[in-house]
């Protein structure tokens, strides 16, 4: 018996010794080649696309995938942001049902979760920022849209009274900057059906020069985003074609009668104009589109909008000159042409200045043309297109990308950096980024 | 005391080793064979012959019982996905496959045996939020087999056996599904069982001299048809798209042919060696069919290949009461790295075992053994397992689950024998 006990104890000792053998080779992470770029202090200046807005809201689970934060993760640097808890800065769009497709605007509001960060944020993107704001805005009340009666509280949240976007950038002694500003200077015009004044190109030139001159003095490497053609975004391409198809099925209807800015004040879009997108209806017009033909003024009463002077809601809505489709929801051929001309002009200004300072500029046209093409753009196994919801790229507001969309944007910045500064920063695997269209 | 240490070190140094076969086959049917590295086909001398080689029953006198269990504690880590080296560790689980065998010599010519054992089984569990969650979160397979064997002593030193087995099995597969472009994951839970599957077996054992024995055993494939249900939880807006309802799946466990030789080198030492061939090519695809045609059937190629294991064992008889066991084996993985899934990590394995076999009383024995299995580190660079959402037709550009697997397992087994 004693022998048995001894041998069993020995057995256990040896067993323990063998368990301890569990080891393996250490793996080493691949080296990171940043070339001449230096991300030690990385700052982003911009608007909602830089801030990481999705579905009309800024919320933490979306901000995690702001393109700046994705780049920061690829290069392993810190990147502080003005984060908001779910569901973010009021008004997040959420999906109620897929068939029929209906959304809901979440009235709840999150709270700032990084207010006490002891330095300026690395992400100085502010939803709604215009070019001039980079230079001048210090608070909600001093931002550009405050002049139009819309003080933007996000300036308080991001700047925290410490200075302008430009000042806070310089204060961080940045080594690397992404600058993507100016979108709102024309987008505000387009998204409001041509009713918001675009920034004058000469003013744009002056302001952009000021910004770039100041940033150049920091010695930082800078990658600049040009202005994409927003008219290819689902915000402008989703409602019109479906209205056009619907109108084709109503006997005796010639097309959509809508209000215009210039004389004669009324115009007709035949269904093919809408289907071929020579006249655009914004996503904000999706509610109005549901009431085309209505003779009770329901669009106005449901949305709490006063009936405009001269409109008689007893006539079929959107089908008659007496009750036209509202001007602010339609971009007509004149306005489309104006937008495109402005965009070309701004982009020439941006690339001209960038060239003179020797900075790289990202031209977005290839990307957005691919997204708008029939086959879309496959990335890491997922098909992306500019189609609303099913295209994967755009969030529910039809303008800002999904988390995966931001991954594609981040990769464009990385490619530009790699090219310009002989770096080889790995691209983001977009398919590892979770889906981000939120269900109610 | 000194003598024991010496002996144990000797066994370790020469060839201590043991078992857990490639794929999801379990070879732990008795503490003694586990202590001998599974090199037991030619020398089986207890009721576990029902599993190892039915022909061995002819050499047992009277009535024999063997009961016991193994404790299996596997551990696996995955580092990746390449180029990342982030480490994910499988949740630790302990498995307790039992074994029970009984035999009886009916006449000088015939012996019968029956038993219960777990020939195939596996269980892997990963964190629900881990990077490979679309490939595997929880996977479980358990088969329970009831073999019945009859052995015929053709000559005094030659016997053959045939037998059949009745088995049932349960399977569980749970994993996340991406809801891209929508936020959040859905969780899919597939469960099924097969209450009756049949197999057959045969064996032969020849003892040309007092010191030499040769044996071979065959176990057939077993076809399982699982019937069960799928449940998926996810966003209610996607409810109509989430797979639900009755499912069926088929699985064929492989044929085994094992041949061995045992030789009593000196009075105190018996050596044994086995070659085991496993027909793993029976497992070519993991397929789950949904009864409702609205849902896409699951079909994942596995393309297992036939494989083998080489086993060596040594038994040192200290005296009439006590023997030390040692074993070592090499077990070739049946799956090609490109098809390797975290639901069943695999690699070429080495097993090292030690054990003791003791006779407490004339007709009552106890044996215990420990087996350590070390899988060789396996780095997958050409995986075909796509671990992120993708659309059909984009398989080439989709993201593959490349990375480095490391696995090991510790097994402890105890058996009691009783004969009269």
Superfamily for domain range A42-228+333-432: SGNH hydrolase (3.40.50.1110)
Interface membership of A304 toward B (CB under 8 Å): no
| Residue A311, both tokens | 């409109």
Inspect the interface and report whether the beta carbons of B85 and A435 lie closer than 8 Å: no
Residue of A nearest to B5 (CA): A10
* Chain B contact set for A392 (CB, 8 A): 180-181
User: How many of the other CB atoms lie within 10 Å of CB of A118?
Assistant: 5
Those of residues 218-247 in A touching chain B at CB distance below 8 A are none
* Chain A contact set for B238 (CB, 8 A): 98
Those of residues 165-184 in B touching chain A at CB distance below 8 A are 178-184
Contacts of residue B410, Cβ cutoff 8 Å, sequence gap at least 6: A15, A18, A19, B72, B73, B370, B371, B372, B373
What is the spatial distance between Cα B335 and Cα A253, in angstroms, rounded to a whole number?
A: 66
Task: Please count the CA atoms within 13 angstroms of the CA of A248 that sit on its side-chain side.
Answer: 11
Interface membership of A390 toward B (CB under 8 Å): yes
Average per-residue pLDDT in chain A?
A: 94
Give the pLDDT of residue B303: 87
CA distance B87 to chain A (A): 10
Residue of A nearest to B353 (CA): A15
Confidence bin at B259 (pLDDT 50/70/90): very high
Closest CA to B171 of B283, B255, B281: B283
* pLDDT tens-digit series, residues B148-184: 999 999 999 999 999 999 999 999 999 999 999 999 9
* Chain B contact set for A380 (CB, 8 A): 388, 390, 397-399
| Residue B367, both tokens | 């044996």
Those of residues 29-48 in A touching chain B at CB distance below 8 A are 29-30
* Chain B contact set for A15 (CB, 8 A): 354, 370, 372, 410, 412
Confidence bin at A24 (pLDDT 50/70/90): low
Taking 50 as the threshold, does the pLDDT of residue B338 lie above it?
yes
Inspect the interface and report whether the beta carbons of B12 and A3 lie closer than 8 Å: no
| Cβ atoms of B238 and A98 closer than 8 Å | yes
CA distance A223 to chain B (A): 26
Give the pLDDT of residue B8: 36
CA distance B76 to chain A (A): 11
Residue of A nearest to B73 (CA): A19
What is the spatial distance between Cα A223 and Cα A179, in angstroms, rounded to a whole number?
A: 6
Mean pLDDT confidence for B37-66: 97
* Chain B contact set for A27 (CB, 8 A): 79, 85, 404
Average per-residue pLDDT in chain B?
A: 91
- Sketch the domain layout of chain A as residue ranges: 42-228+333-432, 246-331
Taking 50 as the threshold, does the pLDDT of residue A20 lie above it?
no
CA distance A47 to chain B (A): 24
Cα distances from A300 to residues A102, A134, A247, A295, in angstroms, run: 19, 37, 21, 11
Give the pLDDT of residue A28: 79
Inspect the interface and report whether the beta carbons of A10 and B179 lie closer than 8 Å: no
What is the spatial distance between Cα A226 and Cα B57, in angstroms, rounded to a whole number?
A: 83
* Chain A contact set for B324 (CB, 8 A): 7
Give the pLDDT of residue B6: 37
Give the pLDDT of residue B17: 26
Taking 70 as the threshold, does the pLDDT of residue A23 lie above it?
no
Comparing B28-32, B81-85, B161-165, the range with the smallest average pLDDT is B81-85
Comparing A12-26, A134-148, A354-368, B178-192, the range with the smallest average pLDDT is A12-26
Confidence bin at A5 (pLDDT 50/70/90): low
Inspect the interface and report whether the beta carbons of A439 and B324 lie closer than 8 Å: no
Mean pLDDT confidence for A408-437: 97
Confidence bin at B294 (pLDDT 50/70/90): confident
* Chain B contact set for A24 (CB, 8 A): 77, 377, 404, 406
What is the spatial distance between Cα A94 and Cα A61, in angstroms, rounded to a whole number?
A: 14
Phi and psi dihedrals of B202, rounded to 5?
-150, 155
Cα distances from B304 to residues B162, B255, B377, in angstroms, run: 28, 13, 19
* pLDDT tens-digit series, residues A267-294: 999 999 999 999 999 999 999 999 999 9
Give the pLDDT of residue A13: 60
Measured between its terminal Cα atoms, the distance across chain A in Å is: 70
Confidence bin at A264 (pLDDT 50/70/90): confident
| Cβ atoms of B33 and B17 closer than 8 Å | no
Q: Which domain holds residue B221?
A: 2-419
What is the spatial distance between Cα A204 and Cα A190, in angstroms, rounded to a whole number?
A: 17
Look up the CATH number of the domain holding residue B156. Answer: 2.40.160.60
Mean pLDDT confidence for A48-74: 98
Residue of B nearest to A100 (CA): B237
* pLDDT tens-digit series, residues A185-197: 999 999 999 999 9
Those of residues 68-97 in B touching chain A at CB distance below 8 A are 75, 77, 79, 81, 83-85
Closest CA to A432 of B134, B77, B337, B342: B134
Mean pLDDT confidence for A330-336: 96
Inspect the interface and report whether the beta carbons of A95 and B368 lie closer than 8 Å: no
Contacts of residue B14, Cβ cutoff 8 Å, sequence gap at least 6: B314, B326
Mean pLDDT confidence for B352-380: 94
Task: Please count the CA atoms within 13 angstroms of the CA of A54 that sit on its side-chain side.
Answer: 32
Number of H helices, E strands in chain A: 17, 13
Inspect the interface and report whether the beta carbons of B388 and A431 lie closer than 8 Å: yes
Closest CA to A128 of A174, A214, A196, A222: A196
Inspect the interface and report whether the beta carbons of B180 and A434 lie closer than 8 Å: yes
Comparing A13-27, A383-397, B371-385, the range with the smallest average pLDDT is A13-27
| Cβ atoms of B374 and A23 closer than 8 Å | no
- Could you give the percent of chain B with pLDDT greater than 90? 82
Interface membership of B355 toward A (CB under 8 Å): yes
Residue of A nearest to B394 (CA): A381
* B273 beta partners: B261, B312
Inspect the interface and report whether the beta carbons of B318 and A3 lie closer than 8 Å: yes
* Chain B contact set for A95 (CB, 8 A): 182, 237
Phi and psi dihedrals of B36, rounded to 5?
-100, 20
Taking 80 as the threshold, does the pLDDT of residue B18 lie above it?
no
Inspect the interface and report whether the beta carbons of A426 and B183 lie closer than 8 Å: no
B8 against B309, higher pLDDT:
B309
Give the pLDDT of residue B22: 58
Partner residue facing B181 (CB), from A381, A392, A426: A392
Phi and psi dihedrals of B180, rounded to 5?
-45, 135
Taking 50 as the threshold, does the pLDDT of residue A334 lie above it?
yes
Interface membership of B10 toward A (CB under 8 Å): no
* Chain A contact set for B390 (CB, 8 A): 380-382, 431
- Could you give the percent of chain A with pLDDT greater than 90? 90
Those of residues 293-332 in B touching chain A at CB distance below 8 A are 318, 321-322, 324
What is the spatial distance between Cα B66 and Cα B272, in angstroms, rounded to a whole number?
A: 21
Taking 90 as the threshold, does the pLDDT of residue B16 lie above it?
no
Mean pLDDT confidence for B311-330: 95
Mutation site, B89, B181, B408, interface A, largest A CB count within 10 A: B181
Taking 60 as the threshold, does the pLDDT of residue A200 lie above it?
yes
CA distance B177 to chain A (A): 11
How many domains, chain B?
A: 1
Inspect the interface and report whether the beta carbons of B324 and A7 lie closer than 8 Å: yes
User: How many of the other CB atoms lie within 10 Å of CB of B108?
Assistant: 9
Residue of A nearest to B184 (CA): A435
Interface membership of B281 toward A (CB under 8 Å): no
Say how far residue B89 (Cα) sits from the centre of its chain: 21
Taking 60 as the threshold, does the pLDDT of residue A333 lie above it?
yes
Interface membership of B236 toward A (CB under 8 Å): yes
Mean pLDDT confidence for A41-66: 98
Closest CA to A325 of A263, A255, A256: A256
Inspect the interface and report whether the beta carbons of A432 and B399 lie closer than 8 Å: yes
Count of A-B CB contacts under 8 Å: 142
Taking 80 as the threshold, does the pLDDT of residue A384 lie above it?
yes
Interface membership of B129 toward A (CB under 8 Å): no
Taking 80 as the threshold, does the pLDDT of residue A8 lie above it?
no
Confidence bin at B9 (pLDDT 50/70/90): very low
Mean pLDDT confidence for A139-162: 97
Inspect the interface and report whether the beta carbons of A3 and B370 lie closer than 8 Å: no
Q: Which of A203-212, A371-380, B227-236, B384-393 has the highest mean pLDDT?
A: A203-212
Inspect the interface and report whether the beta carbons of A24 and B377 lie closer than 8 Å: yes
Give the pLDDT of residue A9: 61
Give the pLDDT of residue B283: 87
Mean pLDDT confidence for B70-76: 92
Residue bearing tokens 């004058």: A200
Give the pLDDT of residue B14: 30
Interface membership of B399 toward A (CB under 8 Å): yes
What is the spatial distance between Cα B258 and Cα B33, in angstroms, rounded to a whole number?
A: 14
């Amino acid at each position: 018996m004693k022998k048995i006990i001894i041998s069993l104890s020995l057995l256990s000792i040896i067993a323990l010794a063998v368990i301890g053998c569990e080891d393996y080779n250490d793996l080493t992470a691949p080296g990171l080649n940043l070339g001449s770029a230096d991300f030690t202090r990385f700052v982003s200046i911009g608007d909602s696309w830089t801030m990481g807005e999705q579905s009309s809201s800024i919320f933490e689970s979306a901000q995690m995938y702001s393109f700046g934060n994705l780049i920061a993760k690829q290069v392993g640097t810190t990147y502080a942001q003005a984060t908001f808890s779910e569901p973010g800065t009021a008004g997040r769009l959420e999906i109620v049902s897929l068939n029929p497709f209906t959304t809901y605007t979440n009235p709840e509001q999150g709270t700032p979760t990084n207010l006490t960060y002891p330095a300026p944020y690395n992400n100085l993107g502010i939803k709604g920022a215009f070019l001039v704001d980079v230079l001048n805005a210090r608070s909600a009340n001093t931002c550009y849209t405050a002049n139009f009666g819309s003080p933007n509280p996000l300036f308080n949240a991001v700047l925290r009274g410490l200075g302008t976007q430009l000042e806070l950038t310089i204060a961080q002694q940045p080594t690397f900057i992404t600058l993507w500003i100016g979108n709102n200077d024309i987008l505000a015009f387009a998204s409001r059906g041509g009713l918001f004044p675009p920034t004058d190109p000469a003013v744009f030139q002056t302001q952009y020069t000021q910004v770039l001159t100041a940033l150049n003095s920091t010695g930082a490497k800078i990658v600049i985003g040009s202005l994409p053609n927003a008219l290819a975004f689902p915000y402008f391409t989703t409602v019109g074609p479906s209205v056009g198809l619907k109108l084709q099925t109503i006997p005796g209807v010639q097309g959509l009668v809508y209000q215009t800015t210039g004389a004669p004040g009324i115009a007709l879009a035949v269904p093919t104009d809408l289907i071929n997108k020579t006249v655009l209806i914004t996503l904000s017009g999706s509610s109005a589109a549901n009431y085309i033909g209505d003779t009770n003024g329901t669009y106005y009463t449901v949305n709490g909008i006063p009936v405009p002077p001269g409109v008689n809601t007893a006539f079929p809505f959107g089908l008659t000159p007496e009750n036209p489709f509202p001007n602010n929801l339609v971009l007509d051929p004149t306005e489309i042409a104006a937008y495109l001309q402005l965009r070309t002009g701004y982009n020439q200004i941006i690339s001209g200045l960038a060239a003179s300072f020797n900075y790289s500029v990202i031209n977005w046209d290839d990307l957005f043309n691919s997204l708008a093409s029939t086959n879309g753009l496959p990335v890491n196994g997922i098909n992306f297109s500019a189609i609303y919801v099913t295209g994967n790229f755009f969030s529910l507001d039809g303008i800002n990308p999904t988390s995966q969309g931001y991954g594609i944007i981040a990769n464009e910045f990385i490619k530009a950096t790699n090219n310009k500064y002989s770096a080889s920063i790995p691209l983001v695997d977009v398919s590892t980024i979770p889906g981000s269209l939120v269900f109610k | 005391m000194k003598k024991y240490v010496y002996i144990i070190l000797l066994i370790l140094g020469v060839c201590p080793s043991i078992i857990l076969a490639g794929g999801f086959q379990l070879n732990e049917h008795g503490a003694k064979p586990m202590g001998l590295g599974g090199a037991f086909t030619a020398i089986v001398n207890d009721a576990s012959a029902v599993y190892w080689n039915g022909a061995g029953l002819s050499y047992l006198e009277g009535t024999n019982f063997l009961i016991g269990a193994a404790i299996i504690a596997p551990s696996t880590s995955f580092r990746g996905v390449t180029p990342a080296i982030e480490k994910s560790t499988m949740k630790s689980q302990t498995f307790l496959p039992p074994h029970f065998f009984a035999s009886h010599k009916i006449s000088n010519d015939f012996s019968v045996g029956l038993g219960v054992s777990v020939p195939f089984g596996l269980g892997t569990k990963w964190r629900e939020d881990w990077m490979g969650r679309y490939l595997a979160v929880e996977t479980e397979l358990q088969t329970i087999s009831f073999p019945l064997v009859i052995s015929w002593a053709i000559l005094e030193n030659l016997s053959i056996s045939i037998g059949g087995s009745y088995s049932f099995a349960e399977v569980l597969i749970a994993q996340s599904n991406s809801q891209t472009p929508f936020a959040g994951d859905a969780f899919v839970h597939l469960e099924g069982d097969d209450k009756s599957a049949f197999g057959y077996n045969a064996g032969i054992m020849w003892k040309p001299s007092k010191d030499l024995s040769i044996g071979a055993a065959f176990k057939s494939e077993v076809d399982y048809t699982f019937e069960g249900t799928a449940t998926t939880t996810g966003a209610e807006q996607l409810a109509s798209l989430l797979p639900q309802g009755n499912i069926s799946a088929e699985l064929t466990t492989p044929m085994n042919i094992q041949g061995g030789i045992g030789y009593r080198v000196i009075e105190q030492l018996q050596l044994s060696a086995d070659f085991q061939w496993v027909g793993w090519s029976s497992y070519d695809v993991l397929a789950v069919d949904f009864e409702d045609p609205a849902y896409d059937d699951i079909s994942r190629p596995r393309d297992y290949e036939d494989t083998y294991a080489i086993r060596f064992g040594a038994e040192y008889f200290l005296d009439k009461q006590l023997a030390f066991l040692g074993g070592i084996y090499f077990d070739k993985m049946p799956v090609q790295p490109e098809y390797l899934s975290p639901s069943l990590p695999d690699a070429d394995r080495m097993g090292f075992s030690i054990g003791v076999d003791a006779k407490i009383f004339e007709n009552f024995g106890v044996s215990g053994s420990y087996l350590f299995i070390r899988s060789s580190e396996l780095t997958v660079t050409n995986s075909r397992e796509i671990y992120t959402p993708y659309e059909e037709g984009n398989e080439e550009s989709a993201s593959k689950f490349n990375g480095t697997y490391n696995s090991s397992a510790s097994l402890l087994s105890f058996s009691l024998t009783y004969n009269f």
